Homo-oligomer: A and B are copies of this chain.
Amino acid sequence: MERRSFLKNAGVGLATGAVAMPAIAQSAPTIKWRLASSFPKSLDTIYGGAEHMAKRVAEATGGKFQIQVFAGGEIVPGPAVFDAVKDGTVEMGHTVSYYFFGKDPTYALETAVPFGMTNRQMDAWMRYGNGGKLLGEFFGRSNIMPIPCGNTGTQMGGWYRKEIKTVADIKGLKIRIGGFAGAVLSKLGAVPQQIPGGDIYPALEKGTIDAAEWIGPYDDQKLGFNKVAKYYYYPGWWEGGPQVSAYVNTKKWAELPKEYQAILLIACADAHVDMMAKYDARNPTALKQLVGSGTQLRQFPKEVMDASYKAAMELYAETSAKNPDFKKVYDDYKKFMDDQNLWFRVAEGSYANFMYSKR
């Protein structure tokens, strides 16, 4: 239940505002936008972030600013959201920028890269580091303004039919995984496969692939991977804290009344907190049910983590050497993140580890 339950229990309700604003209804501009999401409705927590944001905008404007949300494929295919917003076919999108890794790996830095930031660190870099500025510049060339609008938190490392005990077990591993993560695993001899969500289960079942990474307990449980793969590995080192983003076409943004611009930004911030909170509230129950049904949790061995890390750093050096845009953003990202981890290990890390030991 959302926070409105606490409003009701405090004896107040959002719907009982005593002062009506009939004049607003007559005079404020009615604006109707379309938002194309990259996600299916079945990914209810991620997809739902856009609906949550649109609802907040409608409430804040008395229904005058309406953003109609379409799931991936309804009007725009999921992978085409970037271009649809860029071209102004739709005013907004809701997506994860690493889907556009193929256009330029720099886009991935707006979501997550292997051994990258957590959600807290992304928020700090976006608002008070150079993240907002650097990414604004880069996306701005495509007439897109990206706005943080969700995070999933650290993801799981995926479902495996066999255990991963040494780096040798990565060689030849046919694993459903994309983008930078797939490129890193290729360096270790894996065979990454890009397979859409709905096609993963049959591929794992048949053994066409040996492993698949998706998201975390809540979303993975829905796709039933536990029925066809026994081992659930952690952590998903390729997604330490992947940011989900709202895209706004910059020309359409400029046409908005200032008040609607302000409302859109804070509605995205509310959806941003909300998605993270929803995942955190839902994942524990799903994890317990998966383990209860026979799933075996496994931590990646240290040698696998170390080898993956080394391969990732090599990949970033290679990418930076070829791509000055990537280098510019990644250098700033890495420096900021290193300082974050210097601090986070002190109070946050020691406290968290103590509390885990008491569970």
Contact = CB atoms under 8 A, between A and B. Distances in A.
A94 interface: no
Contact of A287 (B250, B257, B287, B346): B346
A217 interface: yes
Number of contact residues on A: which range applies? Answer: 35 or more
Contact of A345 (B3, B14, B359): B359
A115 B234 CA distance: 26
A332 interface: no
Given A351-B240, A352-B344, A145 B12 contact: yes
A290 B247 CA distance: 40
Interface in A108-145: 115, 118-121, 123-129, 131-137, 139-140, 144-145
A348 B287 CA distance: 14
Given A118-B351, A128-B277, A10 B356 contact: no
Contact of A16 (B254, B260, B278, B342): B254
A186 interface: no
A309 B259 contact: no
A339 interface: yes
Given A5-B132, A115-B358, A350 B59 contact: no
Contacts of A321: none
Contacts of A62: 258-259
A10 B145 contact: yes
A123 B6 contact: no
A277 B24 contact: no
B154 A6 contact: no
A155 B348 CA distance: 8
A29 B278 CA distance: 35
A187 to B, nearest CB: 17
A3 to B, nearest CB: 5
A153 interface: yes
B17 A257 contact: yes
A62 to B, nearest CB: 5
Given A17-B260, A273-B269, A359 B347 contact: no
Contacts of A342: 284, 287-288, 359
A328 interface: no
A309 B358 contact: yes
Contacts of A21: 27-29, 257, 259
B259 A6 contact: no
23 contacts: A3-B126, A6-B126, A9-B134, A10-B137, A10-B145, A12-B254, A14-B258, A15-B258, A20-B257, A21-B29, A56-B266, A59-B262, A61-B259, A156-B346, A235-B354, A236-B347, A237-B354, A284-B340, A288-B339, A309-B354, A341-B356, A341-B358, A344-B356
Interface of A: 1-3, 5-12, 14-21, 23-24, 26-29, 56, 59-62, 115, 118-121, 123-129, 131-137, 139-140, 144-145, 153-157, 216-217, 234-237, 240, 250, 253-263, 265-267, 269-270, 272-274, 276-278, 280-285, 287-288, 297, 299, 305, 309, 338-356, 358-359
CB-based closest 10 A-B pairs? A6-B136, A23-B27, A6-B132, A128-B281, A10-B140, A59-B262, A124-B280, A235-B351, A345-B356, A17-B258
